[in-house]
Amino acid sequence: MISSITTTTVSTISSTEGLAASLAFIALLALTSVLVAKELSSATQAPRLQRLGRGLNVAIIPLLMVFTAIVAAKLVEIL
């Protein structure tokens, strides 16, 4: 009984690590995309695109917090 619980726990943790790595990669891609879009939109003279650039801060701030959490988790893992 205990060995089956241990095996189940190990397999669950292994699958969760793969999912977490995938979600971290998706979050980093989203952050990169939003930052590129902000830079491109703020570099133009069109007022609508400049407003879009300012509005993208709504997405950038939470994604930066996620990035910080990912980096902190990796540092804790290394140390």
4-44: pLDDT as tens digits: 555 665 565 555 667 778 888 898 999 999 999 999 998 88
Residues constituting the chain = 79
Q: What pTM did the predictor assign?
A: 0.71
49-79: pLDDT as tens digits: 889 988 998 999 999 999 999 889 889 988 8
Segments in 1-79 forming alpha helices (H): 2-42, 47-55, 57-78
Domain ranges of the chain: 23-78
Rounded CA separation 57/65 (Å): 12
Rounded CA separation 9/53 (Å): 45
- Residue bearing tokens 């997405």: 59
- Residue bearing tokens 């939109």: 41
